[in-house]
Structures are given as structure tokens and as C-alpha cells.
Structure 1
Amino acid sequence: MKAVFGMAVLAATVAASTAQAKDPITLHAVGSQIYRCEPNDKGELQWKFREPVASLFYAGKTVGRHYAGPTWEHVDGSLVRGKVAESKPGKTPDDIPHLVLTATEHHGLGELERASKVHRVNTKGGVAAGACPKEGAWLSQPYEADYTFED
């Protein structure tokens, strides 16, 4: 009887741990990379990245938003913030870099609650282009990317 009970406990433990592990989820972002014209160390004006502003989509439906932090917020109430751990160039010079970010903060329960890494891939656009016209000017560059959230 002990062996049967032990096997049942083991099976329940394996089932519970499998249920807790989530498959990575990939969300498609469509939005803008926002820049501000600011002087560099030499006093020359240049575009400085400020923040992303994007909607997140899954299967063609809006499921969240991406904004400063960087922060990803899902409609289910879960949220993750991250910091850049790795950066690789985009496919073309006009594409923002591919990134690996590590989670620094979580809020809420849902799809993003346990994400420990966020991968930004398949970037299109988003790089600041053109000269800064005057200090304090803003630039919004359209972009798209896929964000994969891993436990």
C-alpha cells in the first residue's frame, strides 16, 4: 500500500509542477519608438531614445501594451519590467536591435507573471532617422517586433 501511495504522491507532484510551467508566449508589438533631440557630451544635438509605445497582439487580438521601463502589461493584469542583458543588431540598419532582457519586476497574476526573460526579435523599423531640428524636439519612429516571454 505504501508503494502505491508513494507513486500517487509522485505522480501528483509531477502533474503539479508541469501545470505550473508555462510555455513561452510570443506577442507581436506594433507602435513607435519615441526619441527626443538632446545634446551629447560634445554639445551636438542627437536623437536620444526615450521610450517605446506599442500595442501587443496575440492571434490578431490586442492583449496588452508595451511602454517605458521597459514594461509589458497584459490585459489579464500581469506585468513584467526588464533590463537589457544582450543586444544584437537588427536585420537592417533601419531596424532596432534584437534584445534579451532579464525580468526585474513582476505584478499581477497571468501570462506574464513568471517571465524571467524577454526576447525581442523580428524587429522592423524604429531607428531614429534624420537630423535633430532643435533641442527638445520629439520624434516618433514606427516599429514592429515580436516579444517572447520565457519562465
Structure 2
Amino acid sequence: MPMQGTYALVAAAMLLAGGTQASRAAEVVPAALQPPAGYTLAFTAKARGMQVYTSTAEAGAAPKWVLEAPVAELTARQGTIHHYAGPSWEAADGSKVVRDKDTPVVTVPARKAGADIPWLLVKVTADPAAGALSRIGYVQRIETHGGVAPATPPVRTDTKVGVPYTATYAFYAKAK
């Protein structure tokens, strides 16, 4: 019997620690990036990829870096999710979400804004296919590292560079 009591105590401690970590994570995400009431966290995924920048220039101006698209692989318990232009997220099961163009993306600077891409909250629409992403209404990008356009301006237009980044993506679904 004492061994069962020990297991129960360890399990309770693990639950409390998990709850504390979850509340700490919620505290570090700015209020502006919280999805509206009625949405709950479905899952999170770790991303590793590139922010692709293209050099462009307006007539008479020097070339500058402009974000073209992200290209990343997200790892979640639901499997691999591909992230690309749109922005779009597509799961291995075929389900997909794309930014809702009618809703502005909410942006908050990263903790190290000069080195890390901003944190985001993106309203998305799911395609009708069933799967891991079929109920998702918001995608939140947090805990970013890297991905900022090169500090050195481009020499000519139409040059492309990929800047490595990592992030955590949180996927929110409408509460049932």
C-alpha cells in the first residue's frame, strides 16, 4: 500500500507542476495575442524553418529586404505540419488552415526584437477536409528565435535569402 501512495503523490506533483508550467506559459504571452473567448488550446507544435526574404526596390530607392514567405516544418503529436506562404499550415492528414484575409494579423515584438521575428495571432479558416486542423480558428506564433531579415541591405533586386528560425505555434479551436 505505501508504494501506491507514493505513486499517487508523484502523480499529483506532476499534475501540479504541469498546471504551473501551463499558467506560466499563459502569463508570458501578451494579452493582445490571446484568441477571443470561446477558443481553447487544441495543441502546440515546435517549428524549425526559414523566413524567405526577397530584395525589392521602388523607383529611385535602394533595395530592401521584404518577407516573401515562411517555409517550416512543425512537429506536433498530431504529426508533421508544413507551414508556407499564405500563411498556411497543412497537416500530414491533408487538413489545412489559411489566414483569414478579412482579419488583420495581431503582431507583438519578440523579447529580442532586433534578432527574433515578432509573435503573432492569426485568424485562420479551415478547408472542409476532416483532420487535425479542421476545427482550428486561430494560430499563435510565440517563443521565436531568429528569422529577422539580414541587417546588411541587398545589393540588387530579386535576390532571395533564407534566414533560419524556430518558434512555438499554438493552435486554437472553437470550444464545443
TM-score interval for Structure 1 and Structure 2 normalised by the shorter chain:
0.7 to 0.9
Match of 1:98 in 2: 119
- Asked whether the 8 Å contact 2:99–2:124 carries over to 1, the reply is yes
Report matched runs for 1:1-151 at 5 Å.
23-40=41-58, 43-58=61-76, 63-83=80-100, 84-92=104-112, 93-129=114-150, 130-151=152-173
The residue identity in structure 1 corresponding to 2:140 is H
CA distance in 2: counterparts of 1:79 and 1:41, whole angstroms = 38
1:109 to partner: Cα distance: 1.1
Stretch deviating more after TM superposition (65-74 or 35-44): 35-44
After superposition, the Cα gap between the structure-2 partners of 1:41 and 1:118, relative to the gap in structure 1 and judged at 3 Å, is farther
Deviations 1:55-106 (A, max 9, x none): 11125x9512100000001111110011552100012111000000001342
Residues 51, 164 of structure 2: 8 Å contact kept: yes
TM-aligned CA distance change 1:104 to 1:143, over 3 Å: same
Supply the distance in 2 between the matched residues of 1:145 and 1:96 (Cα, whole angstroms).
9
Point out the structure with max Rg over C-alpha. 1
For structure 1, list consecutive stretches of 5 or more residues without a partner in the other structure.
1-20
Q: Which amino acid is 2:149 matched to?
A: A
| Identity within the alignment, % | 32
Whole-Å separation in 2 of the counterparts to 1:53 and 1:62: 17
Mapped to 1, the partners of 2:69 and 2:60 lie a distance apart of: 23
SS at 1:116 equivalent: strand
Q: Cα deviation per residue 1:1-51 (whole Å; 9 max; x = unaligned)?
A: xxxxxxxxxxxxxxxxxxxx9851111110000000101476221001000
Structure 1 or 2: larger strand share? 1
Aligned counterparts of 1:131 and 1:23: Cα–Cα separation in 2: 39
* Map of 2:28 onto structure 1: none
Aligned residue for 2:105, secondary structure, equals: strand
- For this pair of structures, how many residues does the alignment match? 130
Checking the alignment, whether the CA contact within 8 Å between 1:55 and 1:62 is kept in structure 2 is no
Runs of 4+ residues over 3 Å off in structure 1? none
Say if 1:26 and 1:148, in contact at 8 Å, map to a contact too.
yes
